[in-house]
Amino acid sequence: MDTVKTTHSLLITGEEAISFLESLISIDPVNEKFMTSFLLKPDGKVAHWFIVQKTGEDFYIFQSKEELVNIKESLEFYKIRTKCTLEIKKDERSLLLDIKNDGFEFFEKVDIDKFISWRQLSVILELPLPEITAKGLLPNETKWLNFMVDFNKGCFLGQEQASRVKFRGRPRRLLKSNEDSQEFVKI
C-alpha cells in the first residue's frame, strides 16, 4: 500500500462552512472519514480533485501545497457573503491508500517512513494532474466517476453538466496514466 504525506491542509471553518462546501464539491463528506472529491467548474469540467475530511463543522482539504493555493483561490471566488473562513495551515499527516475493486480509501497512519508524492498518487489512481485539468477534463473521462461524484446528493457546482454527460452521453476519451505522466486515450 502507498502512503502520501500531507504538509498542509486547507481548513474551512465557520457558521456556514458545511452548506458552503457541500454546495460546491461533488460528494458530501462523512464525519471523520477521508473522502476524495472533485471541484468542478460551472461547465462541468474538473477544476481540482482532493481529499476532504469533515470533523464536526470544519472541513480539511488535502492536496499538494501548490494545489491547495489554487483550490483556495477557486473557493474564494464563490465565498461572497458566506460566513466561513478558508485558511491554508501546516498540517502534517500520513494518508495510507487502500485500493479496492470499485474504489479506494485513505486512512491516517503514523510511523510511516516511505511516501509517494501527490503527483505519484494522481498517476496511481489515474486522477488528473493539474496540467490535465487545465486542458479540460470531464468527470466521466476518469475511471472514478461513480465513486467521486454523488448524483443523488443534490446540487453542486457543475452538477447539471456532469449529470447530462453521465446520463446522455459517453466519453470520447479516457484519462490513462503511464509511469509518471498522463494522456487521453480515444475510445
Which residue from 37, 39, 72 is spatially nearest to 51, judged by alpha carbons?
Answer: 37
Burial of 10 (0-12, 13-18, 19+ CB in 10 A): buried
Q: Show pLDDT as tens, one digit a residue, over the chain (187 residues).
A: 799 999 999 999 999 999 999 999 999 999 999 999 999 999 999 999 999 999 999 999 999 999 999 999 999 999 989 999 999 999 999 999 999 878 899 999 887 788 999 999 999 999 999 999 988 888 889 988 888 988 888 788 888 888 887 887 778 888 999 888 898 899 8
What is the rounded CA–CA span in Å between residue 53 and residue 171? 30
What is the rounded CA–CA span in Å between residue 74 and residue 40? 10
Kindly report the backbone phi and psi dihedral angles of residue 137, in degrees, each rounded to the nearest multiple of 5, phi listed first: -140, 130
What is the rounded CA–CA span in Å between residue 132 and residue 137? 7
pTM passes above 0.75: yes
The full set of domains in the chain, from first to last, is 3-186 (3.30.1360.120)
Distance of CA 34 to the CA centre of its chain: 11
Q: Are 51 and 75 in contact (CB under 8 A)?
A: no
Q: Are 18 and 82 in contact (CB under 8 A)?
A: no
Q: What's the pLDDT at 54?
A: 96
Q: What's the pLDDT at 135?
A: 86
Distance of CA 149 to the CA centre of its chain: 10
Q: What's the pLDDT at 154?
A: 79
Report the relative pairing of strands 46-55 and 103-109 from DSSP bridges.
Answer: unpaired
Distance of CA 75 to the CA centre of its chain: 13
Cell matching residue 179: 509511469
